[in-house]
A and B are shown apart, each in its own frame.
Chain A
Amino acid sequence: MTFHIKKSGLVAVALISLVSVLSSNSAKAATTQQSLTLSPTSIVQSFDKDSSNNGSIQVINQGSSAYDFSVYATPYSVTGEEYKQDFSPIAGAVNIADWFSFPSSSYHIEPGQTVAVPYTITVPSGALSGGYYGVIFAEVKNPAVVNGVTIKDRLGSIFYLTVNGPAVNRGSLLSWEVKPFQKPDLTGYVRIADTGTLHFSATVNATVKDMFGFNKLTFTSVKEVLPQTVRKIPVTWTNTPFLGLYKISGSVSYLGKTETLGTKYVVVMSMVARYVLSGLAIILVVILTIHEITKFRRNKNKSKHAKYSKKKK
C-alpha cells in the first residue's frame, strides 16, 4: 500500500514536472493588462512672445494594476498627405520641446486614480510669429522582462501653438476623391492644402445613402491642417456591406467657409461578391453558348431533313 502511494506520488511529481517544462517552453501571451488614459488629446493655444502659460493634462488608470509613468515633451511634425506623425527634432528648426517644463518627470498611479500632470509652456522672446507643434507624452514604465519583449504604452497630447504676430491664414480644398468601384470599406478622401503660416481646423461632414435614399452613414471628423502641408482626410464607412450601390456627399468647413463635396456614386463589391458574380456570368455565357450551339445544330438538322425530303419528292 505504502509502495502504491509512493508510486502514485512519483507519477504525480513527474506529471507536474512535465507540465512545468512544457509550459515553460510554450509561447506565453501577456498575463497582466495595463491601461493608460490621457486627456485631452490635443490643445490649441495662442501666446505672445516672451510669455508663459500653466496647464495640466490628466492621466487616468482604468486598469487593475498600479504603475509608474513618465512625462516628457517632443516636437511634432508630419510627413506626406497621410500625415505620418514624427516626434523627432528637425535639424535647423525650433525644438518646441524646450518650451515645455514639468515639476516632475515621473509619477505613480493607482487603479481608478486620476493624476493631473502640470506643465508650463514658456515662449522665448526671440520666437517668430506663426504655428508651433509639440506633444506631451505619458509613458508607462514597465519593469523590463528578462526573457521576451517588454511592452511600453505611451499616449500623446498634441499641442497646436500660435505665437501671435503677423501671420497668413490661407487654405483651399484641393479635391474630393471617391473611386466609383470599391471593395469594402467604402472610402473617400478630402484633400485640403494649408498654404499659410498657421494651422487651421477642417470639419468634414459626409453622408452615405443607398439608392432608395436611406441614410447609411453620417460622418463627421475634425482635423488640424498644418502650415505648408496637404492633408488627405479619409471618409470611411467601416463595415460596409459586401455588395451595394451608394451615393456619398458632404461638405467641408475651414477658415470660416464651407465648401460642398459633390455627390458621387459608388459600387461596393467585396472579392467574394466579385467571384460569385464572375462565376454567374461565366455560367450564363456557357448556358447561352450551349443554347446557341444546340439551336444551330437543330437548324442544321432541319435544313438537312428539308433537303432530303425535297430530293425524295
Chain B
Amino acid sequence: MKKYLFILPAFLIVFFAVPAVIVSAATSTTTINVAVASVISITSGGTLSLSVTPSGSGAQTVANDTVTVSTNDSAGYTLQLANSSATTAALTSGANTIAASAGTQGSPVVQAVNTWGYCVAGIGGFVCPSSSSASQAISATYKFAGTPLSAAPNTIKTTATTATNDTTSVWYGVAVDTSKPSGTYSSTVTYTGTAN
C-alpha cells in the first residue's frame, strides 16, 4: 500500500503544477494601445420663432436658444456667434427690415424700437431675460447687442479644458412699434465651435 502513496503527489503535480509551468511558458505580454480620437459636438434648436404684436410705443418679444457643446479635447473649445450674412445683420422681409441693435458685445444697449439683437448672460455687459415673453412693453433692463456680420464673429464662450454637455443660453429679442409693416421677418445666425 505504502508504495502506491507516491501516486497522489504525482497526480497533483501532473494536473496542477505541470499545466501551470506549460501555461507560464506559453504566456506572452501584449501591449494594448488605444488611440482615442478627439471629438467636438454641438447641439442647438435649429430655428427660433420670434412673433410680436406691435404697439404704439413698441412691444418686445424675447426667446432663447440653448447651445450645448461637448469635447474631449483637453484644449477646451471656443464658441462664436455671427450673422450668416456678410453684408446685413437685419431681420428682413422683402424690402422691409428690422435693424440690428446698435449695441455690441462690450457695450450692449436697452433695445430700441424696431431693432433686434442677442444677449448671453455673464459676458460683456449683457443683462439678459430669465424667461421668454411675447409682445410686452420694452424692458429698460435687458441689454442686447446686434449680431455681428460673418467676418467678425463674437466669442460667446471659451473653455480651458474638456467639456461635457456645456450649455450656453443665447437670448434673442425683437422690439417693434406699429410703424413697422406687418410681415414675416427672418435672419440666419451661425454658431461656430472649434477646439482651442
Contacts and interface: CB of A to CB of B under 8 A. Distances in A.
B53 interface: yes
B191 A154 contact: yes
A207 interface: no
Interface in B10-32: none
Given A26-B51, A30-B44, A41-B73, A149 B39 contact: no
Contact of B193 (A33, A150, A153): A153
B38 A41 contact: yes
Contacts of A145: 47-49, 186
A151 B46 contact: yes
A158 interface: yes
Nearest to A235: B160
B167 interface: no
B71 A27 contact: no
Contact of A33 (B43, B73, B74): B43
Main secondary structure of the interface of B (DSSP, over half): strand
Interface of A: 24-42, 58, 60, 62-63, 82-85, 87-88, 135, 137, 139-140, 142, 144-156, 158, 219-224, 233-236
Interface in B49-76: 49-53, 61-65, 67, 71, 73-76
A137 B133 CA distance: 35
B47 A151 contact: yes
Nearest to B81: A151
Contact of B61 (A27, A82, A153, A156): A27
Contacts of A25: 51-53, 134-135
Nearest to B39: A39
A221 B49 contact: no
B94 to A, nearest CB: 11
B178 interface: no
B47 A150 contact: yes
A114 B160 CA distance: 28
Dominant SS among interface residues on chain A: strand
Given A30-B47, A33-B46, A149 B192 contact: no
B188 interface: yes
Interface string B126-150: 0000001111000000000000000
A222 to B, nearest CB: 5
B189 interface: yes
Given A39-B37, A148-B50, A155-B194, 8 more contacts: A27-B61, A27-B132, A30-B47, A33-B45, A36-B43, A147-B50, A149-B47, A221-B76
For the complex of A and B, the 9 pairs showing the least CB-CB separation, nearest first, are: A30-B45, A27-B63, A41-B195, A37-B41, A28-B49, A147-B184, A156-B194, A41-B38, A148-B49
B179 interface: no
Given A27-B133, A36-B42, A82-B158, A151 B189 contact: yes
Contacts of B41: 35-38, 60, 62, 155
B46 A32 contact: yes
